[in-house]
Structures are given as structure tokens and as C-alpha cells.
Chain A
Amino acid sequence: MSEQAQKFKVTIDNITVEVDPGTTILQAARKIGGDVTPPAMCYYSKLEGSGGKCRTCLVEVCKGSEKDPRPMPKLMASCRTGVMDGMEVKNITSPRVLEARKGVVEMLLINHPLDCPVCDQAGECHLQDLSYEHGTEGTRYEFDRRTFEKEDIGDYISLHMTRCILCYRCVYTANQIADGDREHGVLERGDKAEISTLLGKNLKNDFIGNVIDVCPVGALTDKTFRFKNRVWFTKPMNAHRDCDNPKCCGKVRLWMRGDEVFRVTARKDEWGEVEDWICNECRFEKKETKDWVIEGPANISRHSVISQGHYVNTKKQPVLIDKVIGKEPRMLLDIHKVSDVNKPNVHLSEIKGPAHSDDFENKDK
């Protein structure tokens, strides 16, 4: 079969996987899954040119390839480094990587306001996950944190620049998805750099709402959902509608409580990436159950705080302890063991229709 393209063998943390040429190390690691996958705060597989900026996905390449076995002297950003045949990569088995990653997490957090208790992103924030998994307990930073003047970028999206980690994802989204080339970008430089719009203009494009979904932190949030609810009190349901916009897929995730739709987002895959882009109308205007055909509860990672209601469809991460020699993968805290917020014996997916606070009370009695 000459048509079959040649496959590259890559070994990441002693686990070998076969991938197509042109795959990045990060994508190969995602194929393995679990703890072997480096975290990615800026890389987004659906946005061209993203990645390489946050430096959390640094890995050590200890063997370049079969042909050229020299190791790479510097740690490489796995999201932008292509694999070679016979490449050997160390992620969590390399102390150098863990040390560097700890440094990056600390750097990302020194100017982050850590206002999680009032931040709408809490519960689905990538920076929370990152600092939980790779960060240290305290900070050594003793100075005032950076703040910005607030900027209004329209009726739908709230920009909270102090929380931004400058991943540039929203800039790429605005340029590539929302057709807002160079309207939404970065001003200034260094630690004064900020996301802004051209001359403080409001963002009006039909697809600009997607910047909320790509934002890994709470810098861009949905104004129609602001302070309405915590994400872990709402139940994510897959739903769809026939959207008039030809570019919109109409497949969304509704975040509901009872019969109330609190928020509409695009569907996200297990890496927190949007599966298909949705338009502003679907996201911001259709907030009633009658607008939607509800398909059922969405898949939520077992380790997410959102899954505290015990969904049947939750996915378990593969356990790789046997394979990753020398280093036991550190798993996330199992939220089900510590959470008293919901009753663990209530299975949300067994309740007819979307969950409501009454359901919990009835079960208790």
C-alpha cells in the first residue's frame, strides 16, 4: 500500500505512539492522553499561528530523531515543534521540564489578580487547572500587581484585562474566525501589553462571541451571563437549532438550571477547545428552552468541578502509571470525595429534564 503515508514513531515519557508526519509533539502527546500531555494555555489547534507563547508546554527532546539522535539543547515548545521519526521526548519524567514549568506558572500568576471567587470563569478556568497541577503553594512576588483601566468593547463581551495572560488566542480568533482583521489586537509591549480594539471600537462581528470560548482565563466573559450563576451549579446540555447564519453550525452547549437557560457556549472537546464555532445570535439571543432542541447531557471531564453531580457520561482519564516509569503521574483531586456542594447520590442524568434545586431537596427527604 504505497498510498499510505509513512508514520513517525515518537516516544513520549517512554510511551511510543505512531503519528503522521507534520504532527506536533503536543498533538502526539494528546493522542496518548492523560498526564503525558503537556498543558497548553495559548495553543489552539483550530487557530492558525497560535501557540509558542505561554511556554507551559515546554518539553525536553532527548533524542532528535532516528537519523540525527542529538538532543535539543533548549527545552522546546511542544505545541510548535514537529515530530521526527524516532524522536524521544521527556515531559513529566524530566525534572528540568517540571522546574521550568513551575517557573512559568509562577510568572503567569504574579500579575494575575487571583479574584477567582468573583470571576465567572472559575470552575472552567485553564489557569486554575494549571496552577493546581503545576504551581506552587504560595508566591514570592511582593509587589503591587499590574492593573489596567477598564475598557468597554461592546454590549455582549466584557474585557477584564487584569486577568489576561496574553495568550493571543482571541486575537487569532478575531482575525481568522470573526473576520475582524486587525480590529482586535495587542497594544503596548512588555508587561504593559494589553488586549484592545482599534480606537476603542466595539466589536460587532457575528462571530466575535467566540473569543469568550477561546479565552483560557476570565479576561473575556459573556456579559449576558455575568454574575448570574456559578458554572458548577448549572448543568451542561447539548442542544441544536437551525441557525440562519450559513457559517454557524447551530450545535451548542446550554448551561441550564431547571428550565432556565443561563448561558450558551460552543461545544468543547476534552482539551477545552471549541468543536465548531457558533454565531452571536445563538450565543447571546436564544436564551429560552423553546429555541432549542435538547439532545441530552454533555460529556464533562470527571475531574472537572462541573461534573460534581455525577454524570453517567463522564470520561475517565486513562491511567498510565504502569507505563510512565520512574514517575507516578499526579492525578487531580477527585472532586467527588471532597465536595459537599451537591449530594453525590443524586445522579443528574437520571432526572427527567434539566436539574433544578428542588430535585435535590426531594431526594434528600
Chain B
Amino acid sequence: MKLLLEHAHVEGIRYYDAYRKNGGYRSVEKALKMTPEEIVEEVKASGLRGRGGAGFPTGLKWSFLAKPEGVPRHLVCNADESEPGTFKDRYLMEFIPHLLIEGLIVSSFALGSNMTYIYIRGEYAWIVDILEQAIEEAKANGWLGKNILGTGFDCEIYVQRGAGAYICGEETALLESLEGKRGNPRIKPPFPAVKGAWGRPTVVNNVETLAAVVPIINMGGEEYAKIGVGRSTGTKLISACGNINKPGVYEIDMTISVEEFIFSDEYCGGIPNGKRLKACIPGGSSVPIVPANLLLKTAKGETRYMNYESLSDGGFQTGTMMGSGGFIVMDEDQCVVRHTMTLAHFYNHESCGQCSPCREGTGWMYKILKNIESGKGKMSDIELLWDIQGKIEGNTICPLGDAAAWPVAAAIRHFRDEFEWHVNNPEESQKRNFGLAHYADPLPPVVEADA
């Protein structure tokens, strides 16, 4: 089932004419005849959850927006997609930019935002041009600007480039950066819904979330909610990469199993060169890594599906998270220690340096992992890593501290043998990898898995 990428391969869909011919901007025509409250209700009924990683219900977030008299409100689109492994928004903005613009117009109307911003990752320089062209085209055809469709609703969309910081994907850091300040996350409360950009009520949503508003309005919230399963409604873009035959962006309806997603020809197409699956990070680099046996089956022995609930089944002990949908597959040749070190380096590099546990702890973890990886590690280092990550997690201003701690914690939790092997075999570990070991073995009975 495809809702967002249905027309992604139509020739010229990047431009207005082809997009309009394929049913584009229908939702704006429909939405502007509704009241803003009705749109919010539709989004609530759809059960749409934030696609940026946290999975917070969008309709609920919208209803939190404060509406004081005489104060302008803002909608900000978070296109600062910098999570390693996630590239779904890039695909969406590059190939069907008008879908985002359409979603933004509808959402701006629902929230009463006359000035809407797209904060885009600085490295996506060429997409800025694509978006600005799309905005120009929309404006020329009367979908943006003053008095849209004669309803008296004014809306302008501005594109703002970031300057290369992962932290600016955190909503309050994004707002600081948008205001022209250093991208340090703010201390919450106050939340952006009360005091956001320039002290005005602001909603920050991910690109995919805002694009998903278009099908919700077109088909109605209740129809949209019928797609998917449980509280994971609608479709989700998954950007698959790593050791798979067909990396790319896939739109799934969250009812397929993880096994089907990796091995079926419709999606990833299996693992190349006849290798076996070792581990996977299903939601972008900051979610916990899981070994093959826990990826395909939950600790209870049930099949794991590609949706919010099933992926997080078992909590962090045996489960993981849907996150932003950056699906990274690792085959038996990959080294988990090296991989964890790379991620630790990334978070060390991207920490904003505002609060102490994250600023000092991320660098410390990276240095220890570098030692273990290069054969200079000690057994006590593994315990130390575990202790440090526990002292970062939950004690920082923004979720970057958690995002830095989780991958390290999960790697030690599930792949401790590999870490120990690195410590015990410093010379051998420089020449070859630990291999698949027992990570794909059938799961032990539930009681043991819990222990």
C-alpha cells in the first residue's frame, strides 16, 4: 500500500504540472473548506504518530498548541535529517517536493500559521533549490501567498538551511538555530507549543509526518486509521541500508514482518553474497542494536513485525524501537565493536557541549571503545562503559544523551561476548572479525532470556 510514494516514479512529478495532474493539491481544496478544528480532529482520528523518531501522536501535539490572542503562531518543518542510516525525508523532498508543500499548507491552515518554516539540513544543499522552486510554483498557482483560494488565509513558506549540526534536529535546538542563535537545546518546560520560535507558540513536525497529512485529508482520518495495525496506523517510510541487496526507501504499511522486509524481493531482497544476518538497527543509529535472533522473533517467540509496538516489544532488554525508520542491516562480516565505536564517535562529535554528562561522557565512551577496538582494552573497560552510559542516560537536557547511551548499552547487552573476545584476543581481533558466533541461534526459553 502506497500513500506517499504512490506517484514517486511518474515522470516530472517533481514539477507542479505533473504533480497536479496526478491529484496533487486536492487536499488543500478540501481542507480549506473545513475549519481548522475539523482538520485537527481528522488528524487525531487518523492516529498518525510523529515520524521523526519519538512516535508521539501528531493530533495530540497539535491540540497542545497555545492560541493566545494577537500572537502569531508558527509551524516548523523539521527537515534536519541527520541520523546515520535515515534518508527517507531526503527521498521525499528530492522527488516529490510538492507533497511536503501541500502537507505544509494544510497543516499551516489547521494550526493558524501564516509563516511556516522548513528547517533543512545544511548538507542537503541541492534540495533547498528543489523546495524553493516548488514553493515558487505553488505560489504562482495560487496555493501560497495572500488569500489562498479566496478563503482569506495567508501563508508563506520559507526554507532555512542548517549549518551542519545533528543536534539541530532536536526541536528546541532547531528553533534556537532558526532564530539565528547557537543550536543549543532549550530546557523544557516551556515546551515549543507554548513558547517556541521567537517566544511564540510553535509546532515542530517531521517532513514525513507533514506529508502524511495529505492522504489523511484526502481519504479521511478514519479510513487512514484502518491501514496498519493497532496504534501503528498508516504507512511508514523505511530507509534500508547496510548489507542488503536492494538498499533504498520503501513505503510499508506496518503489517509485514521484519523477516519479510529483509528477505522478500519486494523490499530489501535478502543479504548479498549468501552471507547470514548478524544484527540490525531498525530505526536509525540511536535505537538499540539487536542480534538476528531477537530481531526476527520476540523474546516470547512471536514473529516481530515492522511497527512501533512489535519492534519495541520486550523493552530495551530484548526489543528495540521503530525510531525514524533508518533500517541498518549487518551481516556476519561486520564487527559490532567497531560499529559501536563509530557511533560513539559520531555522538561525541555531535554533542552540543551544553550539559556535562553528554559533553564529557560521549568523548569518554569513544576513547574507551577505541581502545577496545584497537586491542588495547581491559576487561574492566566493559563494566566502565556500562556505568558511563547509565550515568548519561536520562540525566541530560535533550535526548542526544540517551541516543548516545542506548547504542553502547545495547551492544554490550547483546554482544558482550564479542567485546570480551576483543579484550582477550588483542592480536587476533586486529586481523579478523568475531563473525556470526551464536547471534542467530534459536532463542533460549523465555525464562533464560529474561535473566
Instruction: Enumerate chain A interface residues (CB-CB to B < 8 A).
Output: 51-56, 58, 74-75, 77, 80, 99-100, 103-104, 106-108, 110-111, 140-141, 143, 165-166, 168, 185-186, 188-193
A55/B355 in contact, CB under 8 A: yes
**Docked complex: B353-406 residues within 8 A CB-CB of A:** 353-357, 359-364, 367, 384, 388, 390-392, 394-397
B356/A190 in contact, CB under 8 A: no
Instruction: Enumerate chain B interface residues (CB-CB to A < 8 A).
Output: 165, 167, 182, 187, 348-357, 359-364, 367, 384, 388, 390-392, 394-397
CB distance from A62 to the nearest CB of B (A): 16
CB distance from B319 to the nearest CB of A (A): 18
Q: A104-B395, A141-B364, A190-B351 are in contact. Are A55 and B384 (CB under 8 A)?
A: no
- Return the contact of B353 from the options A80, A103, A193 (Cβ within 8 A): A193
Q: Which of A52, A58, A80, A191 has the most CB of B within 10 A?
A: A191
Q: Which of B351, B357, B360, B390 has the most CB of A within 10 A?
A: B360
A104/B357 in contact, CB under 8 A: yes
- Return the contact of A54 from the options B182, B355, B392 (Cβ within 8 A): B355
- By a CB distance below 8 angstroms, the chain B residues around A56 are 356
Q: Which of B167, B352, B359, B367 has the most CB of A within 10 A?
A: B359
Q: For residue A171, which residue of chain B has the nearest CB?
A: B182
- By a CB distance below 8 angstroms, the chain A residues around B349 are 190
B355/A189 in contact, CB under 8 A: no
Q: A77-B187, A80-B187 are in contact. Are A190 and B395 (CB under 8 A)?
A: no
CB distance from A9 to the nearest CB of B (A): 21
- Return the contact of A140 from the options B167, B363, B384, B392 (Cβ within 8 A): B384
Give 6 A-B contacts (CB < 8 Å), ordered by A residue: A52-B355, A103-B390, A107-B356, A143-B364, A189-B352, A190-B359
A191/B357 in contact, CB under 8 A: no
A166/B354 in contact, CB under 8 A: yes
B395/A53 in contact, CB under 8 A: no
Q: For residue A182, which residue of chain B has the nearest CB?
A: B181
- Return the contact of A191 from the options B182, B187, B363 (Cβ within 8 A): B363
| In the A-B complex, the 7 residue pairs with the closest CB atoms | A103-B391, A193-B353, A52-B187, A107-B360, A190-B351, A191-B363, A190-B353
B187/A55 in contact, CB under 8 A: no
Q: A52-B397, A110-B364, A166-B359 are in contact. Are A190 and B352 (CB under 8 A)?
A: yes
- By a CB distance below 8 angstroms, the chain B residues around A191 are 348, 351, 353, 359-360, 362-363
Q: For residue A108, which residue of chain B has the nearest CB?
A: B356
CA distance A190 to B344 in the complex (A): 13
CA distance A300 to B360 in the complex (A): 33
B350/A190 in contact, CB under 8 A: yes
Q: A100-B391, A104-B395 are in contact. Are A189 and B165 (CB under 8 A)?
A: yes
CB distance from A198 to the nearest CB of B (A): 13
Q: For residue B367, which residue of chain A has the nearest CB?
A: A143
B356/A104 in contact, CB under 8 A: yes
- By a CB distance below 8 angstroms, the chain B residues around A58 are 395
Q: For residue A51, which residue of chain B has the nearest CB?
A: B187
Q: For residue A77, which residue of chain B has the nearest CB?
A: B187
CA distance A188 to B182 in the complex (A): 10
- By a CB distance below 8 angstroms, the chain A residues around B357 are 55, 103-104, 107
- 11 more contacts with CB within 8 A, not counting A55-B395, A191-B351, are A53-B356, A54-B356, A58-B395, A75-B394, A75-B395, A99-B391, A107-B391, A143-B364, A190-B350, A191-B363, A193-B353
- By a CB distance below 8 angstroms, the chain B residues around A165 are 356
Q: For residue A146, which residue of chain B has the nearest CB?
A: B363
CA distance A100 to B391 in the complex (A): 6
CA distance A192 to B362 in the complex (A): 12
CB distance from B39 to the nearest CB of A (A): 30
- By a CB distance below 8 angstroms, the chain B residues around A143 are 364, 367
CA distance A188 to B353 in the complex (A): 9
CA distance A326 to B359 in the complex (A): 34
- By a CB distance below 8 angstroms, the chain B residues around A99 are 391
B182/A186 in contact, CB under 8 A: yes
CA distance A115 to B298 in the complex (A): 53
Q: For residue A100, which residue of chain B has the nearest CB?
A: B395
A55/B356 in contact, CB under 8 A: yes
Q: Which of B361, B394, B395 has the most CB of A within 10 A?
A: B395
- By a CB distance below 8 angstroms, the chain A residues around B359 are 107, 166, 190-191, 193
CB distance from A199 to the nearest CB of B (A): 16
Q: A52-B187, A74-B394 are in contact. Are A107 and B361 (CB under 8 A)?
A: yes
- By a CB distance below 8 angstroms, the chain A residues around B363 are 190-191
- By a CB distance below 8 angstroms, the chain A residues around B356 are 53-56, 104, 107-108, 165-166
CB distance from A1 to the nearest CB of B (A): 31
CA distance A140 to B364 in the complex (A): 10
Q: Which of A52, A74, A107, A193 has the most CB of B within 10 A?
A: A107
- By a CB distance below 8 angstroms, the chain B residues around A104 are 356-357, 391, 395
CB distance from A21 to the nearest CB of B (A): 14
CA distance A193 to B348 in the complex (A): 12
Q: A75-B395, A103-B391, A143-B367 are in contact. Are A189 and B360 (CB under 8 A)?
A: no
CA distance A247 to B351 in the complex (A): 39
CB distance from A26 to the nearest CB of B (A): 13
- By a CB distance below 8 angstroms, the chain A residues around B351 are 189-191
B360/A53 in contact, CB under 8 A: no
CA distance A103 to B352 in the complex (A): 19
CA distance A196 to B351 in the complex (A): 19
